[in-house]
Amino acid sequence: MRKELKEAVRLLHTVPPEAYAFLYGSSAYPSLTGAVYFYPLWGGTLLVAEVSGLPCSEGSCAERSFGFHIHEGNACTGTEKDPFADTGMHFNPEGCPHPEHAGDLPPLFGNRGYALSIFYTERFYPEEVVGRTLVIHDRADDFHTQPSGDSGIKIGCGEIKENEG
């Protein structure tokens, strides 16, 4: 095992995350829940996400992918039509085109309604996203359409908070 990978595994087992978000679904997806943890690592962030209650279909080849982004807004509030409207646009402090926004994350791959994602990014440090929101969309990001990847409606959200423990 590479030295760097060993360091990341040790981090997950011994160091508390610097930030976290607890995800919940809109009223149309009340069973959607999850937790996301942000660890500072190698000049960037190791992000660990676990989500359950994602929409799924029966049968083979029926699993879905979901857009997953950090948004600029600080609250998972909105309107009846868009319950997470106040999350705003993707977190994009450098003004980059999509999918190069700092908040453009790898999609969540559903497995009978469950997703686990662990990845590293140099696009932000945990402290830079505290006070922002994480959003799950009902369709996969196409990594092309401007400004946000045509990933559909927002079905889940969580506010990113500093871990003070």
- Confidence at residue 68, expressed as pLDDT on a 0 to 100 scale: 97
- CATH number of the domain at 95, please: 2.60.40.200
One-letter amino acid of 77:
T
β-pairing verdict for 115-121 and 19-25: unpaired
Three-state DSSP class for residue 7: helix
Q: What is the pTM of this model?
A: 0.91
Nearest CA-CA partner of 75 in 125, 24, 126: 24
In terms of residue numbers, what domain contains 57? Answer: 3-162
126 C-beta neighbours (distance < 10 Å), count: 22
Peptide bond between residue 147 and the one before it cis (omega within 30 degrees of 0): yes
Count the domains in the chain.
1
Q: Choose among 112, 134, 115: nearest CA to 45.
A: 134
* Tens-place pLDDT, residues 66-90: 999 999 999 999 998 999 999 999 9
**pLDDT grade for 5, boundaries at 50, 70 and 90:** low
